[in-house]
Structure 1
C-alpha cells in the first residue's frame, strides 16, 4: 500500500481569498474543488486548502496531511497492527472514500482512496 501522494493541509477562512496566493505560489490552477460537510476544499500543487468557519474547521484542524492510497482496507490493517486509532470514517466523499487516523506518536493523517473518475484525473495530472 504505497502512498500515491501526500498534500499539506492548509486551513483558511475564505477559499476564494486564499486561492490567488497559491496559484501564484505553485504556478497552477486548482486541480479540484468541492464542498464536503460545511467545508470547501481545493487541491492545488502540493497543498489541500480547507476552508470554513472556525466551527466547521474545528474537527479537522488536528489533521496534518492528506495522503492518497490505493486501499483504505490496507490503511485499516496498518492502523490495527501499529496500535493507531481511527478517528473518522471510512466515509463516502466527493472524490471517493476517506478515513482519518491518529497514529502512534500523535500524527493525524487523512487517507483518501479515489474513485475511478478521480483516479483517472489524478493520473492525468489534473
Structure 2
C-alpha cells in the first residue's frame, strides 16, 4: 500500500482549460500526460506534473470543489480497508472512473482527498 503521487487540484472554467494547459506545459516543460473528458459530470481533466486541472461549468464543478487533493495510490482496496482504522472516513467509493477507480475520503483534520488507482500507471507518477 503506497501513495504514488499527490496532485494539487486546480478548478477552472471549461473555456480556460486549453490555454491553461498550454501555459503550464511550456512553463514546466512537460506535456500533459493525462487528459480526458468525464461526460457524466460535464468535466474535462488534464494532469501536468503534480497538478490536476479540472474544468467545467460553475454548476458542474460545485460538487468537487470541497476536495483539496488527489492521492494516486497503488492499491485502492488496501487504502479503503486501512483508512477507517486511522480515523479517516470513506465518503464515497471505491467506484469505477474513466482512469480506473476512485474514492472520496475525509481525513481526521477534515481535509477531503480523492484517492485514485489508475488502471494504467505512469512511471512519472512516483514520488521520489
Tell me the equivalent position of 1:8. 8
In the alignment, what sits opposite 1:30?
32
Q: Distance in 1 between matches of 2:44 and 2:91?
A: 20
Pairwise CA RMSD: 1.5
- Structure 1 segments of 4 or more deviating over 6 A? none
State yes or no: 1:72 paired with 2:76.
Answer: yes
- Structure 1: how far apart are the matches of 2:111 and 2:48? 23
- TM-score (structure 2 length as normaliser): 0.86
Q: Is the 8 A contact 2:2 2:75 kept in 1?
A: no
Q: 1:54 aligns with which of 46, 58, 65?
A: 58
| Count of residues in Structure 1 that have an aligned counterpart in Structure 2 | 121
Gaps of 5+ in 2: none
Gaps spanning 5+ residues in structure 1: where? none
* 1:90 counterpart = 2:81: no
More helix, by proportion? 1
SS at match of 1:88: strand
